[in-house]
Amino acid sequence: METIVFFDTKPYDRDSFDPLNTSFDLRYYEDKLSPSTAPLSAGCKAVCAFVNDRIDRKTIDALVKNGTELLLLRCAGYNNVDIKYAEGRLTVMRVPAYSPHAVAEHAMALTLMLNRKIHRSYIRTRDHNFSIAGLTGFDLYGKTAGIVGTGKIGRVFADICNGFGMKVLAFDTNPDSSLKNVSYVSCDELFGESDIISLHCPLTKENRHLIGKKSLSLMKPSAYIINTSRGGLIDSEALLDALKAGTVAAAGLDVYEEEGDYFYEDLSGDIIDDEVLSLLVSLPNVIITSHQAFLTREALSAIADTTLANAKAFFDNKTLPTENVVCIGSDRNETKNRIS
């Protein structure tokens, strides 16, 4: 029986993987995967990592030295992995889709909470302050939503926006002509015309800081920015400046570009050594959740099911789904022949 070593695990990981596992010895560690923790996987052929694990050259070297052949990502994104360096050394597999509804619904939850000031109202009423002064929002009906990225999650978010009676603009490098009630436009046009701007694209070298000084300058002062994708899509300092200056109205962030040292940890008794994050958290027109958009029972079950299926296909020398394979390891020709 092969062992899979899990890094950066929380109780919900055990709760979702253990009931579905029938083929592997699962070993869980709370530590994030890094060069210093990679030795925990010594002698094991498979490692399972998450979004904030650091899988750079040193980590990959350590894993290969340990005898690791398969890196399983229990997420869709892989910007935290040095893929070029892993190519030919480790087979890397991911979960390309788990529950697009979970993430899209969280994006709309952030939008609604910001707009109707529900977070502020909640705090007030707990103190028996029932004043509604300063809590005025606006109707989403008739407003314009701008969606960057129309993959599975972006499409679900578009449907949700359509349900609210919103006009939907979209930008994607690969437009989907089958989408109804969605108009594709340039990024600049989307930024300039949208009331709600929601990001649903992977992070690449090309789109890092897609939201920066230039794009922020194009937006309406009343615009809301929602990010449930990857933190690096937004220049956090530029966003903070825009929020303080009032050139954009609000931000709902489930991700943050420097989140690796903070998200998923209880730091309530610590001083956060990140001035930008501390200031963003303190603003009344910003809501930050700690990369939890995926966190539904359905999504966790789908992540576990696909991750275990990836491992089983790899070790049973079965066909590997093309969409799940990020790169292939040392036995390149043999693995290529197994990708469908």
In angstroms, rounded to a whole number, what is the distance separating the alpha carbons of residues 65 and 68?
Answer: 7
In angstroms, rounded to a whole number, what is the distance separating the alpha carbons of residues 183 and 188?
Answer: 14
Determine whether 338 is an active site residue: no
Rg, C-alpha atoms of the chain: 21
Per DSSP, the residues of 174-206 read S--TT-SS-EE--HHHHHHH-SEEEE-S---TT
Give, for 250, the enclosing helix (H) or strand (E): strand 250-253
- In a 3-state reduction of DSSP, which class is residue 78? coil
Looking at 105, 209, 230, 257, which residue is catalytic? 230
In angstroms, rounded to a whole number, what is the distance separating the alpha carbons of residues 21 and 292?
Answer: 24
Looking at 259, 265, 275, 298, which residue is catalytic? 259
In angstroms, rounded to a whole number, what is the distance separating the alpha carbons of residues 237 and 214?
Answer: 13
Give, for 286, the enclosing helix (H) or strand (E): strand 286-288
Determine whether 101 is an active site residue: no
Q: What dihedral do alpha carbons 137, 247, 263, 310 form, nearest 10°?
A: 90
Determine whether 291 is an active site residue: yes
DSSP E strands in 7-97: the ranges are: 25-28, 46-49, 70-73, 91-93
Of all residues in the chain, what percent are helix, strand and coil, respectively (each to 5)? 40, 15, 45
- Going by C-alpha positions, the residue among 42, 41, 4, 46 that lies closest to residue 22 is 4
Which are the catalytic amino acids? 230, 259, 291
